[in-house]
Amino acid sequence: MKPGTLFDKRNFGRVDDIVSDIEKNEATCASITSSIVDYTYENGRRYHAYHQGEYPLPNDAREQERLGLLHHIWKLLLGGGLYTAPISKDLKRVLDFGTGTGNWAIDFADEFPSATVIGTDLSPIQPSWKMLYGEIYKHLKPGGWVEIQEYETWILPSNTEDELPPHLLKWQQSVNEASEKFGKNLNVAKDHKENMIAAGFVDVEDIIHKVPVGDWPEDQKEKEIGHCQRLHMLDAVEPYSLALLTRTLGWTLEDTQELINHVREEFADPKNHLYSYFHFVYGRKPELARFE
């Protein structure tokens, strides 16, 4: 799926009701489409030119492979499932925002063939998560559900008495500093429940999974998940580091790559028993929703 495209499992061509406003101005639509498929290259990675500089992660084949692996991890946590919200089976319209590679939208559409599933990405950047939830609340059908799936970017030692490996600790501190300076804090998964409630959603739940990094757990399911998560983190260190550390903190590419290599070594070290938290957060817009 190309970034910014719409996905309709039943009929790829019938999106008139969705894009009617855009089609009123063909020149604007053409300009947006052109910018979406334009790319810039930096430090050996490919980035979107659309809203250039506002999204620090690349969009090349390596990043798409990482996102595919991450999608697999989310499904492993749910035993092959795609969602946790108690949704009905007669869905009509579903929006997957931040669709990435489109894997979730495609799998969901296969499970709900009667639903129109729309995947969109690289929309104009929201100033804050609180404002984003306000927009979701405004446009969601009363009684409809929203679900956010996000993992905490910070890694923790399995033994609370242990300290993080030194390079991993430095990496987390540096990326945290850079993301805050950049204006888009990375570690926001734990805040979604509070923001969802503040926006007016009810029946809000935050289902948290402790996910190992590595195959150190004795439980076979956790071992499989941990193996995949270690592979994912080995791939994630570079895209989360390059733009933030070089653009925002002014690091040299050489210093950035050196830290990346050390962090990867610490993730690969079987002596390091690490984990992170994955969040499934969902809520419902009341049937008698407040007027905005």
| pLDDT digits 0-9 by tens, 133-160 | 998 999 899 999 999 999 998 999 998 8
The residue count for the chain? 292
> How far apart (Å, rounded) are the C-alpha atoms in residues 189 and 47?
24
What's residue 64's pLDDT? 85
| Domains along the sequence of the chain with CATH | 16-284 (3.40.50)
Residue carrying the six token digits 């210093």: 255
Cβ atoms within 10 Å, residue 220:
9
Going by pLDDT thresholds of 50, 70 and 90, the confidence category of residue 32 is: very low
Q: Tens of pLDDT along 59-78?
A: 778 888 888 999 999 999 99
68 within 8 A of 103, measured Cβ to Cβ: yes
- β-bridge mates for residue 210, sequence order: 277
With pLDDT > 70 as the criterion, what percentage of the chain qualifies?
Answer: 82
Q: Per-residue pLDDT for 125 more than 80? A: no
Q: Do 269 and 192 contact (CB within 8 A), yes or no?
A: no
Alpha-carbon span 117 to 133, nearest angstrom: 20
Q: How confident is the model at residue 289 (pLDDT cuts 50, 70, 90)?
A: low
| Phi then psi dihedrals of residue 208, to 5 deg | -110, 130
Percentage of the chain modeled with pLDDT above 90: 59
Query: What digits encode the pLDDT tens for the residues 217-256?
Result: 999 999 999 999 999 999 999 998 998 999 999 999 999 9
Cα distances (angstroms) measured from residue 128 to each of 13, 71, 142, 191, 192? 33, 25, 23, 12, 12
Top pLDDT among 125 and 246 is at 246
Q: Among 13-22, 23-32, 80-89, which range has the highest average pLDDT?
A: 80-89
Give which of 149, 253, 161, 250 is closest to 207, Cα–Cα: 149
pLDDT at 31 over 50: no
Q: Which of 122, 142, 106 is nearest to 8 (CA)?
A: 106
Q: Quickly state the pLDDT bin for 41 (edges 50, 70, 90).
A: confident
Q: Quote the mean pLDDT of the chain.
A: 84
